[in-house]
A and B are shown apart, each in its own frame.
Chain A
Amino acid sequence: MSEITLIIDGKECKGVSGDTILEVALKSDVYIPTLCYLEGLSPMGSCRMCVVEVEGSNKLLTSCTTPAQDGMKVHTKTEKLYNYRKQILELLFAGRNHFCMFCSQSGDCELQTLAIEHGMDSVRYPFLYHDFDNDATSEHLQMDHNRCILCGRCIRVCAEKVGAHTLDYEKRGWNTKVISDIGAMLGDSNTCVNCGACAQVCPTGTITIREFVYRGRRNDCDEVVESICPLCSMGCKIKGYVRTGSLARVEGLNVTGPDGGQLCHKGRWWLPESTERKRLSVPMIREGTTFREASWEEALELAAGKMKEAHSKGHAGAIISGMSTDEELTLYSDVFRNSINMKYIDCFNGDVLRGFRKGFKPFIEQEVRPFTGAHNILESDLVLVIGADPQEEAPVTASYVRVNTVRNGGALVNLSSDKNPFGDIVDLDARISKEDLQKCIKNLVEAVSKGDTDKAGTGKMEELARMLLQASKPVMIIGGNVAKDPVVVTQVVNLAIASEGFFDDGLGVVPMVRSGNSLAALNTIVGDEPWVNEADIDCLFVSSTGLVPETPESLEAMSMSRFCVVQTPYMVHPLINMADVLLPAPAWYEKSGHFCTIEGERRTLRVIVPPKTELKGLSEVLSVITDKMGITLNSSDVRPCENIFQSKVSPDKARMAVLEEV
């Protein structure tokens, strides 16, 4: 990686060998107009806007594709280039429908911005009115082909980052069009995962998102806040655009990261939708079948009273959302575990988390991180999906799997009791029932550690053992459903060790822990034994973010408990139907805190829009409750994910856990 120096427009610019001319220019803040180039995607060199003059070459070169060489003298803004670029822009405007006044993207459009920059006040060519269709079949996306400049960004992001490769070109030359699959409309596509990445990268108003159009151009917004999506444990980074106190648009970050700045079908659509639901703004107390408004004083008095009474008989419980921040989880843990010593405390998907916690225990005791950041799937040569449906549990993980399999040539194996979520791209697919799974993994561990494929069984299992022996960096994805059995979890980690799935940050396992901050909940909230439908509860404290439907078990537990205190931001059913006291809570976009993500890092949730009504923060609410219950607060020194994240021992020194024969 030797350093090189170029002279661009008379200015000395430094780069490293392997950079393109454009990359060197960007490093030194030299502006070169581009349309088809997007940092993070493979360069195409098709729009011809970034063309530059290089001394010594009689040809004009595209700076986005040409490798920079030491000593090059580059001119980016000569009169000839300015005229040529203007002609290209005029050609684009004349070719299809680029009448800005009728377009929702006007003011936020890269094509328009370039035209203004190049002083394009008229088009010298006749308008050709190429007549394409306007594809409005998709639920959230609209694709007006008449605005398309064929830059190919949507195609590249869908293929290179999302791995679905839904979009590509049809026909050629003048009649080229971007289509889905082999000619389907976007809404009818079998491969589209509805993530909206194409809309995010589209420079014009071709692909637009119905929810966001006309709500505020990016430049018009008052504020752009970087936060994260709390829905699943990937914790994808988002940009929240705020306009007149509302969340106008949600986007991923730029495309350069391994996740390509993509969001998923949940994050992109549900998050903005969640800002429009009916809010719980004041505390409410049940009266028969309805609620009446109450003061905080009265509501907290009632809640604390009931909790105290129930706890004195050992019949108090709490169910806390796994989408709470680290700070909130610590508070809940301090109060319910350490101070009140409540036995019945759990998360909404407690079964899944319990399985992971017990399953990971032998490795945490060795001080090895028993999993790796999900993006390391892209570095793997074999991905083994066990009882998981990543497209549902952590969709961006599914993108990693697709990209790694289709583009990087990695192998993909699916083991499941009922389905193959990845379809045709799988190399090996086997049905293993829940009952047989433990034994099956155990046999694989034996086969791989002894180098004897016969020990795995016959047919597909033998084949899988062979593949594991050959793989140098395998990754195992454990689905939430099968993780309910902690023995399976331990066995899979053993398998990762046996197959030498060692990554810089931990062992080659990606756990589908579901909710946003499940990893932090593992050692703060998750109860040791299941109790939700078995215990006799007099008073149940429930904290829900209201973002996803509660599990049937939790709802049943709520209806069976004699008194229910619910802390939530929204008036969502059936949650509030179960409540006796309702305490309003800040919504996900009104609070800040940290989340422990399966990408292997702690990420920050930030306030995007402050609360509109007076809400009490969690620490205030809990301190009033503990006060009224007459309990002193004991802070614990357990930090939410520390013992899970720390890998004091190098992963390749991990030892397989020995399980007692069941």
Chain B
Amino acid sequence: MDEDNCMVDVAKFFLEFTQRESCGKCTPCREGTKQMLLLLNKISEGEGTMEDLQTLEDLANMVKEMSLCGLGQTAPNPVLTTLRYFRDEYEAHIREKKCYAGACTKLLTYMIDPDKCKRCGICAKNCPVKCISGDRETPYFIDQETCIKCGTCYEKCPFGAISKE
């Protein structure tokens, strides 16, 4: 794991697995992991609040102590440990609506640097939602409202003119 891994995303990854595998017998694991996953999704999409963070932590502690089997008892661990050691990343997602690791796609902004842009048009041609406009004279421009943050333009630009923040 390096600086390109978002710890919120890592927690979400493990929780997605345990929530899907939950057998459903006991209430904390069955309902709790589902609600925890929804909270993590909310945070990683920039919709989370500081109150959600508290709810998430309380829920995680409850699920850990009250679950019937080892799956429920360990499912909240990634959430709890990332909250303990990487709380600042969670707070950035919430307060600044930014994912500094660049992993949470909803929080990314792809921008074309007009100085570096050579107006080749490759990005626009490959954009799946056709949100890039421009031509030989005008620098190319990404419409943020329509952009789905797939990263295709970023990959395709031969001049590295697109930045990801």
A binding-site residues for B, Cβ under 8 Å:
44-48, 51, 59-60, 62, 83-84, 87-88, 91-92, 94-95, 124-126, 128, 149-150, 169, 171-176
Within 8 A of A (CB), among B1-60: 19-28, 30-32, 34-35, 38, 55, 58-59
Asked whether, in the complex, the Cβ of A173 is within 8 Å of the Cβ of B66, the reply is: no
**Known contacts A84-B65, A172-B23, then 15 further A-B pairs from the complex at CB < 8 Å, ordered by chain A residue:** A44-B25, A45-B26, A45-B68, A46-B27, A48-B28, A59-B65, A60-B65, A84-B62, A92-B31, A149-B27, A150-B24, A150-B27, A171-B24, A174-B31, A175-B24
Could you name 24 residue pairs across A and B whose Cβ atoms are closer than 8 Å? A45-B26, A46-B25, A46-B26, A48-B67, A84-B65, A87-B58, A88-B27, A91-B27, A92-B27, A94-B31, A95-B31, A125-B55, A126-B35, A128-B38, A150-B27, A171-B24, A172-B22, A172-B24, A173-B19, A174-B19, A174-B24, A174-B30, A174-B34, A175-B24
A83 and B61 CA atoms in complex are apart in Å by: 11
Binding site for A on B (CB under 8 A): 19-28, 30-32, 34-35, 38, 55, 58-59, 62, 65-68
- Asked whether A88 and B66 contact (CB < 8 A) given A46-B27, A172-B24, A174-B24, the answer is yes
CB neighbours (8 Å) of A60 from chain B are 65-66
Q: Which chain A positions have C-beta within 8 A of B22?
A: 172-174
Among B27, B28, B65, B66, max chain A CB count under 10 A is at: B27
Whether B65 contacts A173 by the Cβ 8 Å rule is no
A47 touches B62 (CB 8 A): no
What residues on B are CB-neighbors of A83 within 8 Å? 62
Q: Given A124-B55, A173-B22, answer yes or no on A84-B66 (Cβ-Cβ < 8 Å).
A: yes
Provide the bound-state CA to CA distance between A124 and B53, in Å.
12
B62 neighbours in A (Cβ, 8 Å): 83-84, 87-88
Query: In the complex, what residue of chain B is closest to A35 when comparing beta carbons?
Result: B27
Residue of B nearest to A95 (CB): B31
Q: Are B58 and A173 in contact (CB under 8 A)?
A: no
Q: Are B35 and A94 within 8 A (Cβ)?
A: yes
* Residues in A whose Cβ lies below 8 Å from that of B32: 87, 91
A91 adjacent to B35 (CB under 8 Å): yes
Cα separation A173 to B28 with both chains bound (whole Å): 11
Which A residues lie within 8 Å of B19 (CB)? 173-174
Q: Which chain A residues lie closer than 8 Å to B20 at the CB level?
A: 173
| Cβ-neighbour of A176 out of B30, B38, B65 (below 8 A) | B30
Contacts of B67 in A (CB 8 A): 48
Select which of A48, A124, A169 is within 8 A of B27 by beta carbon.
Answer: A48
Judging by beta carbons under 8 Å apart, are A48 and B68 in contact? Answer: yes
- Enumerate chain B residues within 8 angstroms of A128, measured Cβ to Cβ: 34-35, 38
Contact of B30 among A62, A126, A173 (CB under 8 A): A173
Contact partner of A87 (CB less than 8 A), chosen from B23, B38, B59, B68, is B59
Shortest CB distance A67–B (Å): 17
CA distance A172 to B23 in the complex (A): 5
A85 (CB) vs chain B CBs: closest residue: B66
Are A173 and B21 in touch, CB under 8 angstroms?
Answer: yes
A125/B27 in contact, CB under 8 A: no
Q: How far is the CA of A193 from the CA of B128 in the complex (A)?
A: 58
CA distance A176 to B25 in the complex (A): 9
Residue of B whose beta carbon sits closest to that of A58: B65
Residues of B within 8 A of A126 (CB): 35, 38
The residue in A44, A45, A94, A150 that gathers the most chain B C-beta atoms within 10 A of its C-beta is A150
Which of A44, A125, A171, A173 sits near B35, CB closer than 8 Å?
Answer: A125
In whole angstroms, what is the CA distance A48 to B68 when docked? 8
A51 CA / B23 CA spacing, docked (Å): 20
Which residue of the partner chain A has the closest CB to B31? A91
Shortest Cβ-Cβ A-B pairs, 3 listed: A91-B31, A176-B24, A173-B22
Which residue of chain A lies nearest to B35 when distances are taken between CB atoms in the complex?
A: A125
Using Cβ atoms and an 8 Å threshold, which residues of chain B touch A47?
A: 26-27
CA of A149 to CA of B30 in the docked complex: distance in angstroms? 11
**Nearest neighbor of B18 in chain A, beta-carbon distance:** A173
Distance from B80 Cβ to chain A, minimum over Cβ atoms (Å): 15
**Which residues does chain A contribute within 8 Å of B24, judged by CB atoms?**
150, 169, 171-176
Task: Please measure, in the bound complex, the distance between the C-alpha atom of A310 and the C-alpha atom of B81, giving whole angstroms.
Answer: 96
Q: In the bound complex, how far is the Cα of B55 from the Cα of A47, in angstroms?
A: 21
How long is the Cα–Cα vector from A51 to B19 in the complex, in angstroms? 22
Q: Please, how many angstroms separate the alpha-carbon atoms of A59 and B64 in the complex?
A: 10
Chain A residue with the shortest CB-CB distance to B32: A91
Query: Of all chain B residues, which has the CB nearest A169?
Result: B24
Q: What distance in Å separates the Cβ of B30 from its nearest Cβ neighbour in chain A?
A: 6
Residues of chain A within 8 A (CB-CB) of B34 are: 95, 128, 174
* Nearest CB on A from B43, distance (A): 14
Nearest CB to that of A45 among chain B residues?
B68
Taken together as a complex, chains A and B put the C-alpha atoms of A173 and B20 apart, in Å, by 7
Closest to A96 in B: B31
Q: Which of A46, A149, A169 has the most CB of B within 10 A?
A: A46
Give the nearest-CB partner of B21 in chain A: A173
Which A residues are CB-close (under 8 A) to B66? 48, 51, 60, 84, 88
Find chain B residues with CB under 8 A from A87 CB: 32, 58-59, 62
What residue in chain A is nearest B54 (Cβ atoms)?
A124
Which of A84, A87, A150 has most B Cβ within 10 Å? A87
B156 to chain A, nearest CB (A): 39
Q: What residues of chain A lie closer than 8 Å to B65, measured between beta carbons?
A: 59-60, 84
* Nearest CB of chain B from residue A95's CB, rounded to whole Å: 5
Q: Given the complex of chains A and B, what is the CA–CA distance between A87 and B68 in angstroms?
A: 16
A84 to B58, CA, bound (A): 9
Task: Name the B residues within 8 Å of A124 (CB-CB).
Answer: 55
CA distance A149 to B19 in the complex (A): 18
Contacts of A125 in B (CB 8 A): 35, 55
What separation, in Å, do the CA atoms of A242 and B65 have in the docked complex? Answer: 45
Contacts of A44 in B (CB 8 A): 25
A549 to B19, CA, bound (A): 57
Cα–Cα, bound, A350→B35 (Å):
65
Bound form: Cα–Cα A84–B34 in Å: 17
- A443 CA to B113 CA in the complex, in Å? 102
Question: Which residues of the partner chain B approach A88 to less than 8 Å between Cβ atoms?
Answer: 27-28, 31, 62, 66
Q: Is the CB of A173 within 8 A of B23?
A: yes
Across the two chains, which residue of chain A brings its CB closest to B61?
A84
B50 to chain A, nearest CB (A): 14
Q: Which residue of A lies closest to B25 (CB)?
A: A46
Nearest CB of chain B from residue A531's CB, rounded to whole Å: 63
User: What residue of chain B has the Cβ atom nearest to residue A44's Cβ?
Assistant: B25
Which residue from chain B places its CB closest to the CB of A126 in the assembled complex?
Answer: B38
* Contact A91/B26 with A46-B68, A60-B66, A84-B65 known, Cβ cut-off 8 Å: no
Residue of B nearest to A152 (CB): B25
Which residues of A are found within 8 Å of B38, using beta-carbon distances?
126, 128
Which residues on the A side are within 8 Å of B28 (C-beta)?
48, 88, 91
Measured CB to CB, the closest approach of chain B to A513, in angstroms, equals 44
Closest Cβ of chain B to A206, distance in Å, is 15
The interface residues of chain B lying within 8 Å CB-to-CB of A84 are 62, 65-66
* Closest Cβ–Cβ distance, residue A33 to chain B (whole Å): 13
Bound complex: CA A88 to CA B67 (Å): 11
CB distance from A566 to the nearest CB of B (A): 58
Distance in angstroms between the alpha carbons of A59 and B22 in the assembled complex: 20
Q: Which residue of B lies closest to A93 (CB)?
A: B31
Which residue of chain A has its CB nearest to the CB of B66? Answer: A48
